[in-house]
């Protein structure tokens, strides 16, 4: 298995958008106020090109996209806090530790870009992802931070990095 984590390319947009939306459909989390309906989901390459100091990564095996994750300085967050964003894997890729690899990669990259905290928003339907976040030491918050535009998420977490 030749795994590779690399920055997103323009040609990855459609594939990663399909993985994100398919994952949300699978868990019944394809609801308004989530990335399912976020127009940037179809244009992740462009979004991250426009926002310096932030990055989105693709994990692939032998050239096949398995998923992605990134970190972003979302509106309303303090300058030292970024958000773990659009962390999704294809159904066949889950349960193999790839999510942990992606989170660790995003944390390391965010730290190297000067961020000291990582925030995330998620939904109760994504129970396995929540377990991984807990193992990484993300702590629960009582409410959202910043203005991410995703009011469909009901779980908020934060970790010092």
All structural domains of the chain, each given as residue ranges with its CATH number in brackets, are 3-160 (3.40.630.30)
> What is the rounded distance in angstroms from the CA atom of residue 91 to the CA atom of residue 152?
22
Give the position of tokens 């928003």.
121
pLDDT at 30 over 80: yes
Predicted pLDDT at 149: 66
Distance CA 62, CA 44 (A): 22
> Which secondary-structure segment (H or E) carries 13?
helix 13-26
Q: What is the pLDDT of residues 73-102, one digit of tens each?
A: 988 899 999 999 999 999 999 999 999 999
Residues across the chain: 161
* Pairing state between β 139-140 and 117-122: unpaired
Of the candidates 25, 102, 110, the one whose C-alpha atom is nearest the C-alpha of residue 66 is: 102
What are the Cα distances from residue 100, in Å, to 86, 93, 110, 135, 145? 14, 12, 15, 9, 23
pLDDT in tens, 3-29: 999 999 999 999 999 999 999 898 888
């Amino acid at each position: 298995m030749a795994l590779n984590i690399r920055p997103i390319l323009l040609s990855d947009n459609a594939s990663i958008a399909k993985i994100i939306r398919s994952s949300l459909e699978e868990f019944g989390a394809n609801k308004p106020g989530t990335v399912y309906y976020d127009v940037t989901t179809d244009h992740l390459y462009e979004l991250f090109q426009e926002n310096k100091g932030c990055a989105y990564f693709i994990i692939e095996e032998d050239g096949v996209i398995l998923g992605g994750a990134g970190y972003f300085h979302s509106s309303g967050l303090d300058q030292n806090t970024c958000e773990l964003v659009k962390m999704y894997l294809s159904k066949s890729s889950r349960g193999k530790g790839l999510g942990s690899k992606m989170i660790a990669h995003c944390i390391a990259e965010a730290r190297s870009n000067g961020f000291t905290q990582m925030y995330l928003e998620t939904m109760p339907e994504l129970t396995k992802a929540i377990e991984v976040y807990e193992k990484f030491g993300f702590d629960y918050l009582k409410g959202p931070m910043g203005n991410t535009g995703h009011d469909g998420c009901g779980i908020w977490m934060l970790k010092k990095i």
